Structure 1
Amino acid sequence: MSTFSERERAFENKYAHDQEMMFKAIARRNKKLGLWAAGLLGKTGQAAEDYAIEVIRADFEEAGHEDVVRKVSADLAGHADDATIRAKMADFLSEAKAELSEG
């Protein structure tokens, strides 16, 4: 096998790994966002976990994260605005990436 083919395969493997890690980080971010929002809504225990799963599922409606913002924003009407939700999403994504890189 040529060196070029080996390098190409290595880049493809790295790309696949990076995509998988980003998917996991976004799912983890969405769970954290769901738990945070559940707390604002007064949900605890299993109800909070169930709500977090709803937020994770909302991310599969369309590409990007606008579907998550829309869902959480509608649910948190009067509790938090879009800017706060987006800031929390950014914070939680940073946390999730750090947690995944730690192992």
Structure 2
Amino acid sequence: MTTFDDREHAFEAKFVHDADLVFKAEARRNRLLGEWAAGLLGKSGDEARSYALSVVTSDYAEPGEEDVFRKISADLSGQIDDAAIRAKMAELRQTARDQIMTEI
């Protein structure tokens, strides 16, 4: 193998690794967001875990995070405004990234 081939494989491996970390962080953020919203909705225990899982799976509806935002916004309608939800999403994104980075 040439040096060019070695570098190409290294870049591909890094891309795959980075994409995996982003996926894990987004899923973690969605779970944390679901747990937060479940608390606001008065859910606890298995009901809260089930709700958090529904938030995670709602992210598979379309690319991006708007599907998750719409679910949380609809579920918390009248309890909290959209700006607060987006702020919580941003906060939990960083929390999730920090958690994932400490696990590797």
Normalising by the residue count of structure 1, what TM-score does the alignment of the two structures yield?
0.98
CA distance, structure 1, for counterparts of residue 30 and residue 83 of structure 2: 16
Counterpart residue type for residue 5 of structure 2: S
Deviation at 1:82, TM superposition (A): 1.2
Counterpart residue type for residue 99 of structure 1: Q
Deviation at 1:42, TM superposition (A): 0.3
Q: Which residue of 1 aligns with 2:78?
A: 78
Q: Deviations over 1:3-39 (max 9, x none)?
A: 0110010000000000001000000000000000000
Identity percentage over the alignment?
54
Counterpart residue type for residue 48 of structure 2: A
The CA RMSD over aligned residues, in Å, is: 0.5
Q: Which residue of 2 aligns with 1:36?
A: 36
CA distance, structure 2, for counterparts of residue 17 and residue 46 of structure 1: 32
How many equivalent pairs are there?
103
Deviation at 1:76, TM superposition (A): 0.1
Q: Which residue of 2 aligns with 1:93?
A: 93
Deviation at 1:50, TM superposition (A): 0.3
Q: Secondary structure at the match of 1:42?
A: coil
CA distance, structure 2, for counterparts of residue 8 and residue 48 of structure 1: 45
Deviation at 1:80, TM superposition (A): 1.2
Unaligned runs of 5+ in 1: none
CA distance, structure 2, for counterparts of residue 15 and residue 46 of structure 1: 36
CA distance, structure 2, for counterparts of residue 90 and residue 11 of structure 1: 29
CA distance, structure 1, for counterparts of residue 81 and residue 68 of structure 2: 13
Counterpart residue type for residue 85 of structure 1: I
Q: Secondary structure at the match of 2:70?
A: helix
Normalising by the residue count of structure 2, what TM-score does the alignment of the two structures yield?
0.97
Q: Structure 1 segments of 4 or more deviating over 3 A?
A: none
